[in-house]
Structure 1
């Protein structure tokens, strides 16, 4: 019989109708007839071998190609879709992925994740308040794997209204961020609305630091992580966890560009009396009060505000102590750089008193440039504190005595004090002179003696004649008259050094001088007179005798 392949479209033969026999030919194989069986007891004689004829099969004509139907195309497309959206073996719910938007429909956005895998995100996540799309094909986005049950389901955030309880459970199980709106403040924290569900965020979980003013959060839409979930209620969320994770990621990027001398931008996180803490991006540094501005800073809060973005320079990195020192003023123009020391020294400048200390006053000559006016330059009299002469904010004229640009220091002097008492010091008081004065002040290191109006000198402890470490209050009283010797006079610094032990030496010298003068007079009186004197003396003697 002929072996024939049924072509597509051929009708299947009816099994109840016998097929017509085909004519035998040389090219067909006929059915062999059975050989006669030998009689019983008679040995069978094998039949002679018959060589089987070689049969050459007739080539069958090619079947025409089958036509594709709409059903076949739909099946192929569905199969292709399934193969493209097969989950990658390295993905798990909760994983963070980055992909490229390849297509968008009315409901979905398709994202190429690489490795012949595509994820799907709800289109609503990329629509603004007016319903307009905020992305376009080719855009790179970051999302989270929500589920792998029906391909790769992605989401940038859960809770914006289109997610149900099932998505919230997935977000809780996979630690995916949820989006919620702060609707109220209660005793322990914030009340959050996530989709149609209410959640609670404890005060300690609102921010990395302590959240003090909770009312300011009302109305804000923030991201949280669900930390506790019982059924679809009693949701407890944390914003702090997400902030800390984001901070850790930023810290890695910041460390790559962190170096001494680098200029960076940061956000003011905390303000203290001693300085300002600035967040550089996951890493905090301290700007000391002296590094906030080139001008004097009394209160850091007067120059910077919480949350303000500032430009800083990295001054020092102490990895062992995990400390970073920053400077705001060094990231700005240095006023000292443009200043010429030669043009300032010897000049008279107007300035403003900014600070007063026991040793002097700091006077601002121009923004960021200050000089020190020592107390010895303020008055001829001794003063304990600069506030005895000047006040903060006062405008004064000063003489620039010395400028040191390396140390950024300027020494100033008063141009007009109205005090001329020191002008006559050299003529009225001489070094080595023994004079009388009045005890004006007693200190542990010596005694101040007023010599004249506006002129005071110091008797150092070793020049009092008392034992070292003695309490001078036991020997002297304020207003007591004392005799002192002028040891040295420094009119530039307005200082006079006195001594009490030198008084005895001066007295001895004066006594010796008087003795010598007296002795010299006696010797002159005892010298012999001349001839005339002798004659006169004799004549006088005779007259005395005649009278007697």
Structure 2
């Protein structure tokens, strides 16, 4: 499971089967990154990990990069209870009853991930990630072995949302693209470039159709209705319509040269939000340049990765 976000190996049936001491010692010798579930965190913030064959322990100082230096808070350890964690085996000991116990390091797994994977990333690289928690300003994701990065809210999709939970949920697998790399090595991510251009999204709609959408913005000059995460149309103003409602909308016209879709709201109503599977247009490789707007459109919306 080299350098995957925590949980992906177990979720896809690639977790390691810890059968015997010989297998564990072989993994220790090769510094292989393993994954298993943390079953508890003791009073000293050591993580106890279920290895099946035996118990493993991740000492607090080995729980994450930055713990020992004080730049990472202990919540990074505590919050892993009942979740998969990445680690390497560093040794073996015995408990008070003489039972074997594996000594583990999540920090070392993160160091290997940073040195051998994250350090090789370049702007435009498309990577796998897992959403870990959502804040009003963006979605934090695990990009490998529990190492966090942020997708800012304005980089999640072209269609504006009020909170990342409108698009993601914690634990969700997703793809992201490396937007830039800071001087300190931090990875800055984006997401909207993987969801297709205006033309690609608009190709699924035609004038005369009535389709579903979500009210994303209510302005005095009209109402923006999201048709897909990277496509919104403008409807004529209507009373008693508010952000977050579902809607059925009639498509008056599709205008590529103006990058506009004109709508009429047929009905708007409250409904439980449904997070449909994300339809990605790009899932691998490297993007050098991405242009959202149609070629003949006067307004140009684009991203250059460098």
CA distance 1:349–1:318, shift in 2 (3 Å) = same
- What SS class does the counterpart of residue 214 from structure 1 fall into? coil
Deviation of 1:185 after TM superposition, in Å, equals 4.8
CA distance in 2, matches of 1:197, 1:186: 17
Structure 1 unmatched runs, 5+? 1-126, 135-142, 144-154, 159-170, 379-385, 417-548
Matched, 1:239 2:95: no
1:493 maps to: none
Q: What's the offset of the Cα at 1:279?
A: 4.0
Alignment of 1:228-307 (within 5 A): 239-251=105-117, 254-256=118-120, 258-281=121-144, 285-293=149-157, 297-301=161-165, 303-307=167-171
For residues 425-475 of structure 1, give each alpha carbon's deviation from its aligned partner in whole angstroms, at most 9, with x where no partner exists: xxxxxxxxxxxxxxxxxxxxxxxxxxxxxxxxxxxxxxxxxxxxxxxxxxx
Deviation at 1:192, TM superposition (A): 6.6
Normalising by structure 1, we get a TM-score of: 0.32
Q: Following superposition of structure 1 onto structure 2, how do residues 363-402 of structure 1 map, counting pairs within 5 Å?
A: 363-365=225-227, 368-373=230-235, 377-378=236-237, 388-391=239-242, 392-397=245-250, 399-400=252-253
- Where in structure 2 are there 5+ consecutive unaligned residues? 1-16, 66-75, 267-306
User: Quick one: structure 1 residues 404 and 274, their matched pair in 2 at CA, closer, same or farther if it must change by over 3 Å?
Assistant: farther
Larger strand percent: 2
Q: Which has the larger radius of gyration?
A: 1
The 1:401–1:215 alpha-carbon spacing in structure 2 relative to 1, beyond 3 Å, is: closer
Instruction: Note the C-alpha offset of 1:228.
Output: 11
Query: Aligned partners of 1:203 and 1:402: how far apart in 2?
Result: 58
Task: Name which of 391, 407, 412 aligns with 2:262.
Answer: 412
> Is contact 1:289–1:300 with CA below 8 Å preserved after alignment?
yes
- Answer yes or no: is the 8 Å Cα contact 2:130–2:142 preserved in 1: yes
Partner of residue 319, structure 1: 182
2:43 is paired with a residue of what secondary structure? coil
In 2, distance between residues paired with 1:262 and 1:179? 25
The one-character-per-residue Cα deviations of 1:368-390 (angstroms, maximum 9, x if unpaired) are 421223xxx43xxxxxxx6x442
For the aligned residue pairs, the C-alpha RMSD in angstroms reads 5.5
Match of 1:206 in 2: 63
- Larger RCO (alpha carbons 8 Å, 6+ apart): 2
CA contact (8 A) 2:55 2:102 kept: no
- Specify whether residues 321 and 265 from structure 1 end up closer, same or farther in structure 2 by C-alpha distance, changes over 3 A only: same
Q: Which residue of 1 aligns with 2:218?
A: 357
Find the aligned partners of 1:289 and 1:207 in 2 and give their Cα distance. Answer: 26
Q: Name whichever structure is richer in helix by fraction.
A: 1
Q: Residue 291 of structure 2 aligns with which residue?
A: none
TM-score (norm: length of structure 2): 0.50
> What is the alpha-carbon distance in structure 2 between the residues aligned to residue 293 and residue 400 of structure 1?
23
